[in-house]
Amino acid sequence: MAHAAPFTAPAAEIEESWIDYNGHLNMAYYNVLFDRCADHVFETVGLTEQYVKDRGLSFYVAEVHVCYLRELHLGARVTATFQLVDCDEKRLHAYSELIHQDGWVAATSEALYLHIDASGPKVAPIPEPMASKVAAMCAAHAALPHPERVGRRIKINKKCNCSPRHAS
């Protein structure tokens, strides 16, 4: 199976109920758009609602880091991309971008997904044939440049006297 590199989800339009009191897309809905993209990706490797029901297995998000770069407003059309940066037998490390219809990046998301056996719940190996499909996607995405925003951390780049940890 050939995998698009990166995977691009179908376009979506910013909905009125997603707009906050500042007049732009509420931060939570950036995550909704990234999550919908991931759902499309997971369908391509076999993670469907039926898979979850039949096997009791699924992917859960363990960690996510979103960078909000530009505001989105009502009616804007966006697409989300998904790049599998790394994977092993139980985990996926992904990078996504939310791209405005005019071509600029509105936000980025870095996420760690765990394959979960819900009977535990506990982390579990990804079974075949899904494991082979994930490995093929990871190989296809390995040809992409490493995203600059992957591996970022939240910090203030200066010392301040605002917390006891920084006091002299």
Per-residue confidence (pLDDT) for residue 34, from 0 to 100: 98
pLDDT in tens, 50-66: 999 999 999 999 999 99
Residue 27 makes CB contacts below 8 A (sequence gap 6+) with 20, 66, 68
Which of 160, 32, 167, 37 is CA-nearest to residue 94?
Answer: 37
> pLDDT digit string (tens) for 86-121?
999 999 999 999 999 999 999 999 999 999 999 999
26-48 per-position pLDDT tens digit: 999 999 999 999 999 999 999 99
In this structure, the chain runs to a length of: 168
Percent of the chain past pLDDT 90, that is, above it, reads: 86
